[in-house]
Structure 1
Amino acid sequence: MKSRLERPCALSSRPSVPRPPALSSHGSTCCLFWTFPMDRVIQEWAFVNTDVFARTKIDPSALVQKLDLDTRSVTSVRRGTEAKAVLPKKEKLKLRRERWLQKIEALKLAEQERRAQQRRKATVVVGDLQPLRDALPELLELEAGGRRQRTRGAGSRPRPAELSRMSAAQRLQLLEEERTRFQELLASPAYRASPLLAIGQQLAQQMQLDSGAQL
């Protein structure tokens, strides 16, 4: 037991590691030299003293910016000259409601026109005669003078050939007669059998009668 206790411990044989000196307020510079190698301290100090922009060449004119009137945008010009009108909340709601009503009315008109066109296309025999019906009154107005010569009496006043020279009463009477003649044509059996052929024959007969009356 005595020999075992007198044997030196293994930890006691380790070499002693030197510790750095304690930091103090008076020896901070000295501590830096003790903790860092001398060549690294010299390199760091040389890098701090060097000028990073020593070899950089900058033109002084590039640092001056001038905003001319020609280079200004439309937004920047209008921002300083025009003041945006501030509307009350009620006025904004009123304008928004009017815009919505206009959009709804336009959609309704477009839907009505689409349905009317579909109804015209659904007719198998007649087909789409709406463009022809729109152009027919114009042809009748151009030849109104010749047709009036057959219907007027011996003592009646002759009507002018041009529609622009007619009076208001003469134009109303002419439109009423043409409307009656057009309704009779639509109700005729020839029109039901072949609408285009019946309209063509009616126009050809009318033109022959007008040319004979003018001669």
Structure 2
Amino acid sequence: MGKMKRMRQKLHTAAVKSKKDKSTTIKDDEEMMEDTSLMPPPPAPSIGENFFQNVNIPALALLAQKLPDFDASSAVTSKTFKGHNLKKKDKQKIRHEVWMSKVDKLQTVKKKEKERKRKQKTPIVGDLTPIEDALPTLELLMKKSTGETTKRFFIFLHRENQEKPRPIPQEKKRKKQLLEDITLFHKIVQHPLFKENASGTIKEHLKHKLEMEQEEDRLALKKEKNEMLRKM
């Protein structure tokens, strides 16, 4: 037997509108239609107009908005997947892969340490003559070490004997140096070689200057070495 249905009745009947109210509503609707028809339509946007001409977004703001990649992060949390539409199984898989990579790293470190300790305990068995022939003798090492130590000692003495420059020179010296630099600059600018080829002249001058300084240092070191040997 089918389900019986009955129509739902309204509790309150609608109020009966008078003829005057109907006429006023129709007139109001007609006036509204006339007003809307008289209003001009809104201006259509031009095709060539640039909507983003006044927009200025700095590059730092774009970098700050960049979401962190879960592959680069060391720990995977709930914030890691924010913004990524991933399924629950995919998230679990990523967490499992990160955890397994950490476990693998720990295992490799432990294996390396175990292998190192095992190699330290195992004695070397075999012919060691090729290794002995390849290594330098004790006399050769002593000669090299004495030569290097004496050279370092003379360099140290040379540096100690030199006058240590002040961090800030005196005002008279600074003024004197400034005047000398200005006169030298004017002389260089007025020189004919500088006028012909400025870069080549400067390179050549610097080359000669470096060679002279190296030669002076070598001679001073040699002189101090001879003096020390005489005293000994």
Name the TM-score class by shorter chain. Answer: under 0.3
Q: Normalising to structure 1: TM-score of the pair?
A: 0.25
Structure of higher CA gyration radius: 1
Q: Normalising to structure 2: TM-score of the pair?
A: 0.23
